[in-house]
Amino acid sequence: MSLDHEFIQRDHSQHPPAITPLYKTSAYRGPAKPLWSLQTSLSDVTGPLFSPHELGPLDNDLIRNYATSGDPVGERIIVHGRVLDVNARPMQGVLVEFWQANASGRYRHRNDTYIGAIDPNFGGCGRCLTDAEGRYVFRTVKPGPYPFRNRVNDWRPAHIHFSVFGSGFAQRLITQMYFEGDPLIRHDSIINTISDAAARERLVARLDLDAAVPLDTLAYRWDIVLRGARATLFENKMPGS
């Protein structure tokens, strides 16, 4: 059998434990009992199928897709990269979703009570499909850090949440992307539940001046790898799966 048809085992040591004292709310979120294995239905693995006509022209432009009276406040950035399989082959037609806080570190969500201002021109979410080369791209403002109730003075670094879909809703993977050079990363109680330093680095987007728009927008590149020794760490994918 050729390598194309083989699975490369995930490194169990890289994925964080479901419950860890460093991230206190994991005690409430993590499973206290063994997980059940359920029979997969046909609809779980065959649908939905995503096509370009289902997406709006501004779905991948977070600067404009919610704006009503002007552009949102904040540092304008482009985030781009590729979705790749275990053998670095591009994955075409993958639905990539992204959501984030605004430049003041506040989400547009009724349960977010942080004192950071709500930006009336920023919704904080979008989506796109990967092209034939596995590429995705979107424009946004850089999210701000924010405090959260974990330890006495815990702050989340600037980050963007991602999800990628396979051919069905059961094939959805979720993760977070951070930014190169952010000093809060080394203090973050969530990313540091990952014990492997190389795995943490794979969640960090790199500054890409070649993709920047001069006098307008900086750019960051971040590739998403679905399996293998250099796989991206996903929050909802258990080791070995």
Q: How far is CA 46 from the centre of its chain?
A: 24
From 139, 161, 200, 202, the catalytic residue: 161
Active site residue 114: no
Active site residue 178: no
Active site residue 28: no
Active site residue 80: no
Structure tokens at 206: 């790199």
**Distance separating alpha carbons of residues 116 and 228, to the nearest angstrom:** 39
Structure tokens at 190: 């969530």
From 15, 106, 159, 200, the catalytic residue: 159
From 23, 136, 146, 220, the catalytic residue: 146
Please state, as a whole number, how many other Cβ atoms lie within 10 Å of the Cβ of residue 47. 12
From 23, 66, 107, 136, the catalytic residue: 107
From 15, 82, 156, 200, the catalytic residue: 156
Active site residue 159: yes
Q: Is 31 left (phi over 0), alpha (psi -120 to 50) or beta?
A: beta
Spatial CA neighbour of 240 closest among 5, 14, 4: 14
**Distance separating alpha carbons of residues 75 and 72, to the nearest angstrom:** 9
Spatial CA neighbour of 156 closest among 165, 147, 164: 147
Place of tokens 């998403």: 224
Amino acid at 56: G
User: Which positions are catalytic?
Assistant: 107, 146, 156, 159, 161
